[in-house]
Every structure is written in structure tokens, then in C-alpha cells.
Amino acid sequence: MEYNKIVIKHFSHPKNVGEIKNADGIGKVGNPVCGDVMHVYIKIGKKKMKGKEKEFVKDIKFKTMGCAAAIATSSMITAIAKGKSLEDVEKITRNDVAESLGGLPPIKMHCSNLAADALREAIKNYRKKRGVKND
């Protein structure tokens, strides 16, 4: 296939597959281009990072129905996000995912949108929930 070895590896052995019960945030998005779907679940924790108490992604899981690139980008973005502060996670771009995978075929670049958008949705969902609870 036209994918590189890193993509194939994340496709055939995806990390962080599954769902999280009582997730703090859930992101569900569909790819308007091809009809693929990704769900992301996050659990948020708090810890001291660089001297400051920060929110971070304690756990993250995904479920994806999509092509090899969609599964690989899902796996990769969860691997990137896990353990990072929310601030940093929010800065993850579509390109970061594709780059970490060593590149995607041009026609498959849109698949990484799916992953980046789903993660962003999950964080939004978490913030919204927390907002409702706390404020």
C-alpha cells in the first residue's frame, strides 16, 4: 500500500482503542469528505507541571470507522495527547499528526482532520460540562 511504515504500524496496532466510561469529555465527528466517523473519550487530571498546577489528559481512547489513514491518525493523536497539558493538547494541529506519522499521501491528508477535530470537540465538551457544573 502507499502508506509508510509508521502509518502501517499505527494502523495495524492502533494505540488507545476503546471507550472510557464516565469520560470527562467526548468528541464525536464525521468526515464530510468520505463519511468516516471518529469518537474520542478523554479523562482529565490535575498535576504540577513546570511549577504550576495544570489540567492534563490523564487518559484518552478512541473508536474510529474509517480508512487505514483515519485509524492511524486516530492512534497517533491519542498517543501525542496522552499525558500532555490541556494547553498543549489544544495546540495540536492536523499537520502535527500527519508529520508525526512521517507524512500521509496527499489524498489522505483530510483524514487527519478527523482526528484533530474529534480531539478538539472532546476538550470543548469537557469545558462545557465543567462550566455547567462549576459556575
Out of 60, 76, 116, 119, name the contact with another protein by CB under 8 A.
76
Footprint (CB under 8 A) of another protein, residues 92-111? 92-93, 96, 99-100, 107, 110-111
Q: Which does 114 bind (CB under 5 to 8 A by kind): another protein, ligand FES, none?
A: ligand FES
Q: Pick from 117, 120, 48: which is nearest to 85 by CA?
A: 48
Out of 57, 70, 86, 115, name the contact with another protein by CB under 8 A.
70
Out of 34, 47, 87, 128, name the contact with another protein by CB under 8 A.
34
**Which grid cell is 90?**
489544544
Name the active-site residue from 2, 12, 33, 34.
Answer: 34
Name the active-site residue from 89, 111, 114, 119.
Answer: 111
Q: Tell me how far apart the alpha carbons of residues 72 and 86 are, in angstroms, rounded to a whole number.
A: 22
Q: Tell me how far apart the alpha carbons of residues 129 and 22 are, in angstroms, rounded to a whole number.
A: 12
Which residue stretches of 13-90 are H helix?
Answer: 68-81, 86-90
The answer to whether 59 contacts another protein (rule: CB under 8 A) is: no
Q: Pick from 26, 4, 9: which is nearest to 71 by CA?
A: 9
Contact status, residue 56 vs residue 42, Cβ threshold 8 Å:
no
The site for another protein (CB under 8 A) is made up of 1, 3, 5-6, 8-9, 11-14, 17, 28, 33-39, 63-71, 76, 79-80, 84, 88, 91-93, 96, 99-100, 107, 110-111
